[in-house]
Amino acid sequence: MVVSITENTRSAAELAIRVTPQLSRWIQLQMTNDEEHDLSMRQLSALQFIDGTETTLGDVARNLNVTPAVVTGLIDRLERRGYVRRVASVFDRRRVYIELTTAGEDVRDHAADQLAKLSDEEVASLEEGLRVMEKVMASVEPRRSKPVIKPGYGS
């Protein structure tokens, strides 16, 4: 398959490269300018993937593309701060689930609060553009397994 680079694709690539560090800084500033929360990017990312009552350490590790050992330390820190809790399975004592606390949900939704200033159309455009970027990135960085998609975020 021959791919031709158009002026539009070049412009979109330049914009993505220029905006990505700014987006990362914006997210980080949202969390570090708030002394109450002060989360790392990885901690915030972990909170985004924890949903419902059946998220495991392995699920978070796969979504972050890190080892379970890394996630164990990450979850330990989030648990100490009161953002998550470990819950043993009632069916299998070896299985442990991770749940967000109310404080964890509040922190997770902090970035969304900042986007509430945008119109519905702007939010829809932003979401569409980010989904396209996610698709592009998925073709470059293969995941170890299929990610966990949170209800309402991927449907």
Q: Is residue 103 part of a domain?
A: yes
DSSP state of 37: T
Half-sphere exposure of 128 (CA within 13 A, CB side): 6
CATH of residue 122: 1.10.10.10
For residue 37, what pLDDT is reported? 59
Distance (Å, rounded) from C-alpha 26 to C-alpha 100? 23
Pairing of strands 84-88, 96-100: antiparallel
The residue segments making up the domain with residue 82 are: 7-140
What is the Cα–Cα distance from 45 to 87, expressed in whole angstroms?
20
pLDDT for 130 equals 84
Structural domain includes residue 2:
no
Report the amino acid identity of residue 76.
Answer: D
33 belongs to a structural domain = yes
Query: Per the structure, how many domains does the chain have?
Result: 1
Encoding tokens for residue 60?
């978070």
Residue 76 has a pLDDT of 95
CA distance 19 to 88: 41
Contact status, residue 71 vs residue 60, Cβ threshold 8 Å: yes
149 part of a folded domain: no
148 in a structural domain: no
User: Is the residue at 109 inside a domain?
Assistant: yes
Quick one: CA dihedral 18, 47, 49, 124, positive or negative? negative
Is 78 a domain residue? Answer: yes
Q: Which residues contact 116 (CB under 8 A, 6 or more apart)?
A: none
pTM higher than 0.85: no
CA distance 61 to 54: 14
Q: Classify residue 145: in a domain, yes or no.
A: no
- Tens place of pLDDT per residue across the chain (155 aa): 566 778 888 888 888 888 888 877 777 776 655 556 578 888 888 988 897 778 999 999 998 889 989 999 999 999 999 999 999 888 888 888 999 999 998 888 877 777 888 889 988 888 888 888 888 877 776 554 455 555 454 44
